[in-house]
Structure 1
């Protein structure tokens, strides 16, 4: 959900040699990355049971703009550019089906803030909150404007504080933010318990107007809107090769697109195109959802209000309660997050590592809600997050002809930021970046992530030797 540690520690690097002698990956994985995608169904996908992907691209076509990726970023970009430039030929290429990536495999929380940006600068803090708050409002407005059949609730979320010291620090932080005009509220345990009675919690920070959303319903619900505006959508169409220049050539299994510009809306899958491989890596986050809770089960659990929560520990965990009654939960342990060697992007749920991850997150849920032990599990899945080393996103455009647009690396806050990214790219495409110049990550240099095998060794050493997961 939230972020990744600023860097791999010196201790992790010192341990790399020891790990290499016992856990070195097989050498065949040093070959180019495999093009692979998860095929499990999340609770969000289950809410779109009648969805059928559009046919794949056949033959050669031309476009003014080609968008690679059919998640929040790609669909939001297509929506805003088609609205502003109805005469442009826009093509969206999705490797599997819309919302098959993180947009349909997340924990469901729609939150404020941007990872990697602290709150010590009052002016920057106000701007970040104002931007993400407007992004959340835009999501709700889009649902209402087009009457999208999307399960959602925006009655606020909590950040749980798991020690007296952290609770007091959060109280002070909350007072600082309130002084800036940001409407957060700190709740001590006795104030919180009647509405949300989680064990081991000493207080919580409440943020109004945040919430939970079914991302698959949202993204897939926008498909007919895009097509009415002339956007050509090809699903089951992975881009195998990207040749850049004044005109960009995209090669797919059975076709080709020649376009004047391209949008990279591929987040954790971007390295499959051979781009930004030193900037971000795919981290697998494991999640499950229970069967719908009865009123009696909710009462026994002690979850009576709020759309969801995240906690403050290094092994960050998060949960949401859908408007259909499903409890969604993920994170909470090293096992709940996994980096697979050479940027692998498929996490087979039948594997031992996946089974251990699911059991670990179940145990974490029981720490907060012991009564959850009797709840049956309806879905188990994994989602690929795009993680940067400093936790900040990557937004901008590049290339000799400045015709490659990108918005990547949300590091766990993708629901809000990826939908904002559509507005951002539409502004850049239209030649006006004035709304975004203040962003610390807009076309800025990023700290590079080491290549393999040091990337894999660094991640393993950090998590094993420190006992912590990178905070996402």
Structure 2
């Protein structure tokens, strides 16, 4: 049996697209955006909706979607990583308004897709957060549900499903219950990012591919073959900011890793479920998640990794052990997939900011606005960040600006120096792995199960 392809399934499914030309020589614009992923392209789109006369340049090191935007799990989530900490200081009315903006992200994406006629397999089917491998997960989920309900969310946002109700949507080997939320959609992300690239070009945006930016300065982005002067420079690089002078250090790179099965026959899907575009996640610190694709594959991801000094992982080829770990998790949930072939195994680099919440960094004196640090939830968060940056550039007092994620370079929290980051990450990871090994073993004694959970909770607290 041939090994899985290391290409992103999403990118491999695209037809060949002729690349846009590289930047050749110096030019000027009103806005230059660095990075043709979701953040950059959504920002170009919303700027053109607000101010069609703006001259906008987008510079991309490879091709549109080459980075995290073409390599993720395909979830459009109506929330932000760390949103409770972000919104904690708001008055109740402002908090409710902010939550409404966040919950509306999948619907907003759907509205744009319908308006512009963009096809990316969009399905607004919600998400199932499942307790599915050991009984403690049901208790964790119920505690989380009570927390959500105590902080402004209703049953219409998060609702408990008993095992029988869960099995009507998703049939797991050991169902202990689930929480359903309607605020998630699934997409084929590479189709969306390439469709956005085409649409903004039709709107007059100048896209230059294979034009890696090596430095960002006051009102300027520099490549090896030319510079762009602009009133505003928007680095939209996430993890890839590590290699660009002027924004290096605002985020660190971590990795996500996924596998995909071959197309599965309908009889298997009748056993699994997911008939209405639902995403699913198994509620553990292994952070496993998945969706059913248009061509009836199961795409399944689980916790990624971190490299010393936050180095990017490229080329991204999963090891046999990394593939086996994700396949084993998948089979614990869906043992009927044991005969299914894994055809693709790939990963992507994404950005995390200190504080583990996304941010928009505004350096008005130098004309630079940078968004990112989405912590793995950037498919949806990038849309809202783009609307915020478009409003800032156009001088609007739009409601989208009420999300309190704007900051300045002077206010940024700095990451601890190495080797503390690497040691801390691995210590946290080991505690999570031990907790999972103990809890998945039905014969572990009660004292050990309690100790493993207590240690993992304390270690998780370091990620604040």
Question: Which interval holds the TM-score relative to the shorter structure?
Answer: 0.7 to 0.9
Question: Partners in 2 of 1:210 and 1:249 — Cα distance?
Answer: 37
Counterpart Cα distance in 1 of 2:53 and 2:399: 24
CA drift of 1:135 comes to: 1.9
Contact 2:31 2:234 in 1 (8 A): yes
Q: 2:402 aligns with which of 419, 426, 438?
A: 438
Of 206, 226, 244, 1:232 maps to 206
Report deviation, 1:179. 6.4
Tell which deviates more after alignment, 188-197 or 66-75.
188-197
Q: Give me the whole-angstrom Cα distance separating, in 2, the residues matched to 1:174 and 1:350.
A: 38
Pick aligned residue for 2:96 from 123, 126, 134:
126
Aligned to 2:79: 113
Displacement of 1:386 in angstroms is 0.9
Preserved CA contact (<8 Å) 2:76 2:105? no
CA-atom RMSD in angstroms: 2.6
2:217 paired residue number: 243
Distance 1:124 1:312 in 2: 30
Q: 1:53 matched to which residue of 2?
A: 19
Among candidates 346, 360, 363, match of residue 328 of structure 2? 363
How do 1:163-242 residues align onto structure 2 when only pairs under 5 Å count?
163-173=137-147, 175-176=149-150, 180=154, 182-242=156-216
Residues 389, 161 of structure 1: alpha-carbon distance in 2 compared, 3 angstrom cutoff: farther
Q: Using the TM superposition, give the Cα deviation of residue 171 of structure 1 relative to its aligned residue in structure 2, in angstroms.
A: 4.6
Which structure carries more relative contact order (alpha carbon 8 Å, separation 6+)? 1
Answer yes or no: is the 8 Å Cα contact 1:153–1:322 preserved in 2: no
CA change 1:350–1:106 in 2 (3 A) is: closer
Note the C-alpha offset of 1:90. Answer: 0.7
On the 8 A contact 1:307/1:320 being kept in 2, the answer is yes
2:374 is aligned to: 410
The CA distance in 1 between the partners of 2:245 and 2:175, in whole Å, is 44
| 1:322 aligns to 2:296 (yes or no) | no
1:141 counterpart residue number: 111
Give the deviation of 1:42 after TM superposition: 1.3
- Structure 1 unmatched runs, 5+: 1-38
1:439 shift after superposition:
2.3
| Distance across 1 between alignment mates of 2:432 and 2:125 | 36
Task: Give the whole-Å Cα distance in 1 for the aligned partners of 2:203 and 2:398.
Answer: 27
Whole-angstrom distance in 2 between the partners of 1:256 and 1:125: 42
Question: Normalized against structure 2, the TM-score is what?
Answer: 0.84
Residue 305 of structure 1 and its aligned partner are, at CA, apart by: 4.6
Indicate the larger mover: 255-264 or 167-176: 167-176
- 1:342-400 CA distances to partner (integer Å, 9 max, x unpaired)? 3222244446xx33222111111111111121111222110112112322111141152
Is 2:285–2:432's contact at 8 Å kept on the other side of the alignment?
no
Shift of 1:466: 5.5
1:72 aligns with 2:42: no
Residue range with higher mean Cα deviation, 338-347 or 135-144: 338-347
Moved more, 43-52 or 138-147: 43-52
Q: Distance between the aligned counterparts of 2:390 and 2:317, measured in 1?
A: 41
Partner deviation per Cα, 1:247-304 (whole Å, 9 max, x = no partner) = x232212222122210011111112113454442111111111122211121233544
Deviation at 1:126, TM superposition (A): 2.8
Which residue of the partner structure matches residue 51 of structure 2? 85
Q: Are 1:383 and 2:348 counterparts?
A: yes
Question: Residue 419 of structure 1 aligns with which residue?
Answer: 383
Query: Equivalent residues in 2 for 1:268-307 (5 A)?
Result: 268-307=239-278
- The answer (yes or no) to whether the contact 1:196–1:305 under 8 Å persists in 2 is no
- Mean CA deviation greater in 410-419 or 132-141: 132-141
